[in-house]
């Protein structure tokens, strides 16, 4: 991942004082585009049926997630191409903003589905550590807040998700699930302070090589699937995810709460006469909204709320005797506010043992 900034400076403003003021002026000029709110849950990470349990047993589910973007949007959803700073008389300084981001994350999830039911309710749980070269929120913060290239050459541990409560109730044409989980801030996270001696100012910001978010998140998730046919060869799925964030470490800011919607339609098609090998295809997408303000003295424009909307599809291969599956999905984000807008891809295996 890299960020490119090309500075075009008027000859009338090339002086030492301006050079010393540029970093702080840059921060102030673009703060109107920044919500400063982070979100642990990434809706483009998941597949259509990930919100529901399989047959009883243990599953190893390695997720591979890729995100690429060359567009940063402002609070109105418009792409930011350049910023003009005018510290005084004259034409000022124009900074051409051209982000180019490539992110990768890996999460080896271990899932357990209980072999028993209580009044028809299934029980499950899972734990998901993560490893990445960066994360979207760090990239946005670095791009908007410091105007420097974040470090993504190293690959390290991110925050971990634990879901100790997972319930599911099944009817002939319906599945309903309810889950509680939390994100533990165990990933690499640091803050740094930038001082401007001649201006008598300093700012504290997240380090550009962070992988973790630096705060806890409580997550509540509910999902439903409707099966038009009793054999469940087709399903219409919707899932709502609600996040409650704690304050960030080292910075006086509590990110606003987020609400996400995942949706999709899935169709299974037999690839063998005995129906042991199935092809799964269908459209899918997501919507994510920041629904409350950021809070704290370090919150930048707390009333500016992030949101993003994406659509795409999923293709999978299922081998029924093994209760195993290989899935690929791709999403294109067609709208975003106060954040990056790009494309997301995922490759996931579901291995029952």
CATH number at residue 217: 2.40.128.130
Domain count, the chain: 1
The structure tokens listed for 103 are 């992110």
Cα–Cα distance, 294 to 256 (Å, whole number):
4
Cβ neighbours around 91 below 10 Å, total: 12
Q: How confident is the model over 283-288, as a mean pLDDT? A: 98
The structure tokens listed for 301 are 């424009």
Least confident of 77-81, 172-176, 218-222, 320-324: 77-81
Q: How confident is the model over 43-69, as a mean pLDDT? A: 96
Instruction: Convert the pLDDT of each residue in 107-139 to its tens digit.
Output: 999 999 999 999 999 999 999 999 998 777 666
Residue 294 CA: distances (Å) to CA of 5, 28, 76, 78? 28, 18, 18, 22
Cα–Cα distance, 105 to 63 (Å, whole number):
8
User: What pLDDT, on the 0 to 100 scale, is given for residue 208?
Assistant: 75
Task: Tell me if 220 sits within 8 A of 180, measured CB to CB.
Answer: yes
Instruction: Convert the pLDDT of each residue in 3-14 to its tens digit.
Output: 332 333 333 333
pTM of the model: 0.84
Q: Give the ranges where 127-221 is alpha helix by DSSP (H).
A: 136-145
Task: Tell me if 285 sits within 8 A of 312, measured CB to CB.
Answer: yes
What's the angle, vertex CA 246, arms to CA 149 and CA 307, rounded to 5?
Answer: 60
Confidence band (pLDDT; 50, 70, 90) for 20?
very low
Look up the domain containing 212 and give its range: 2-352
Q: Give me the chain's average pLDDT, please.
A: 83
User: What pLDDT, on the 0 to 100 scale, is given for residue 145?
Assistant: 47
User: What pLDDT, on the 0 to 100 scale, is given for residue 134?
Assistant: 77
């Amino acid at each position: 991942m890299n960020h490119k900034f090309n500075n075009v400076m008027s000859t009338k403003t090339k002086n030492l004082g301006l050079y010393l003021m540029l970093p702080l002026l840059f921060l102030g000029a673009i703060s109107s585009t920044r919500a400063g709110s982070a979100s642990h849950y990434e809706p483009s990470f998941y597949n259509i049926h990930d919100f529901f349990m399989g047959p009883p047993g243990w599953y190893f589910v390695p997720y591979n997630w890729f995100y690429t973007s060359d567009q940063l949007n402002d609070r109105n959803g418009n792409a930011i191409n350049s910023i003009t700073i005018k510290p005084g008389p004259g034409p000022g300084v124009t900074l051409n903003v051209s982000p180019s981001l490539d992110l990768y994350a890996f999460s080896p999830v271990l899932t357990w589905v209980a072999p028993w039911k209580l009044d028809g309710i299934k029980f499950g749980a899972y734990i998901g550590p993560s490893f990445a070269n960066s994360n979207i929120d760090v990239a946005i913060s670095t791009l908007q807040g410091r105007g420097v290239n974040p470090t993504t050459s190293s690959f390290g541990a991110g925050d971990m998700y634990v879901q100790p409560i997972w319930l599911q109730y099944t009817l002939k044409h319906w599945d309903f699930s309810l889950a509680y989980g939390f994100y533990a801030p165990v990933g690499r996270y640091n803050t740094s302070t930038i001082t401007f001696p001649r201006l008598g100012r300093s700012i504290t910001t997240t380090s550009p090589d962070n992988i973790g978010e630096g705060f806890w998140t409580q997550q509540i998730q509910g999902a439903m699937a409707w099966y038009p046919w009793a054999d469940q060869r087709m399903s219409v799925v919707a899932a709502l995810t609600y996040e409650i964030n704690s304050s960030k470490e080292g910075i006086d800011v509590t990110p606003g709460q987020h609400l996400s919607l995942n949706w999709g339609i899935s169709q299974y098609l037999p690839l063998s006469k005995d129906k042991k090998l199935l092809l799964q295809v269908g459209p899918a997408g997501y919507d994510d909204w920041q629904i409350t303000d950021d809070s704290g003295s370090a919150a930048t424009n707390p009333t500016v709320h992030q949101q993003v909307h994406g659509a795409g599809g999923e293709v999978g291969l299922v081998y029924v005797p093994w209760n195993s599956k290989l899935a690929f999905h791709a999403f294109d984000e067609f709208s975003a506010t106060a954040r990056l807008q790009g494309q997301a891809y995922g490759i996931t295996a579901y291995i029952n043992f």
